[in-house]
Structure 1
Amino acid sequence: MNSGATASERDQVTRLLCDTGALDVQTRADQPSNAALHEDLSGFSELAIAFPALFLVAAAVAEYVLITRLVLAERRPARGGRARAQATRWVVRAPIIRYRVGLGFLFGSRLLMLEHTGRRTGVRRYVTLEVVDHPESATYVVVSGFGVGAQWYRNITANPHVRISIGFRRKVSAIATPMTADESALALERYIDHHPKAWTMLRGAIEAATGTPVNTLPMVRLVTG
């Protein structure tokens, strides 16, 4: 029975139901099932707040633990050019932590995390790279800022089977193929035309870390499948 009914209406309905054999008549508010339903809804509303909060706390703890381990593992004295290279390395590696705890979508589609395999150790390695071109839905072009001598570049040359994480896509299998010098030059030209400020910053960071001018950079094509 609706709890908003008047007293006379409730009495009338009660008499009619009792005449048909009903043993008891209650309003909706007095029904035990209705009270249990409200308790369940209240519990669900609390969970709707608690679960996202727990996820964010867990992500923050995981990020803190990973950062602490990296600091302890790589805390070495650095001087001169080595200090510049190490500082650049920290800037490049910082986003990896967020990708690994599931927050890589915060970087959108301009960055991706590449998972590659060490050519000597066979251990899974990670690097974040800028996407310089995305010509097709399954194809991404990335640049090796430190040239063909970069460890990740040498690793994908030895083993092209990699995984990438970009946006909301995580650990997608892909094949990495170094592009020719002509293909790399054309891709770099398009990138400079579309993102001149980003190129100025990227070139400045590389030249500050290596101490040498940058005129061209090798590119790698990543094809998911």
Structure 2
Amino acid sequence: SPEERQVMDHAFLLLSSEREHRRPIKENFLHMSVQSEDVLLGNPVNFTVILERKTAALQNVSISGSSELQLYTGKRVAKLCTLKKTSRIQGQVSEVTLTLDSKTYINSLAIFDDEPVIRGFFIAEIVESKEIMASEVFLSFQYPEFSIELPNTGRIGQLLVCNCIFKNTLAIPLTDVKFSLESLGISSPQTSDHGTVQPGETIEYQVKCTPMKTGPKKFNVV
């Protein structure tokens, strides 16, 4: 019937379209991976795409990637930007580096109450053969460290002084900087606000307390 013929024609059209858009067979592409080391807060992020092929012939590869900020639970909180790069590769193992500018993520960090991670997802296509592969990578932020100067021993009933020293080694100011101290048996919880610490600036926080009991004690300073 005309109705049945119309259904068959539509089904044949769908099958033909599927064959035309089917992903090409990977004749040369063997493996793709993305590497990136944890980055010091405020620095650019370098993503290194590693491509392994059967052939060492000169080819063009088009790489596009998206990046976003996530919580450790996997929940996406902020989309950052899209990176694109076309390179000529030669050799069975090739590396292509794409860089994410720190300006793309630094302003989004203020919305986090928890420590975020960056997720990068990349797609590589060999221009000549249309072969496609994809891979992703996760990385965390590193933060400046601070030092603590504390006597090896203290005496009961005598003043004990602890010096906390912090230097902002980042290229950006740090806002709402605080020192918090907890130490059972030596001091009640203390908090000291230091506002904004500029790049290269060093601040010190001095804790004064009096031990009341003998035995090893532990300071927690954050």
TM over 0.5, shorter chain? no
Larger radius of gyration: 1
Query: What's the TM-score once normalised by structure 1's chain length?
Result: 0.26
> Taking structure 2 as the reference length, what is the TM-score of the superposition?
0.26
**Which structure has greater strand proportion?**
2
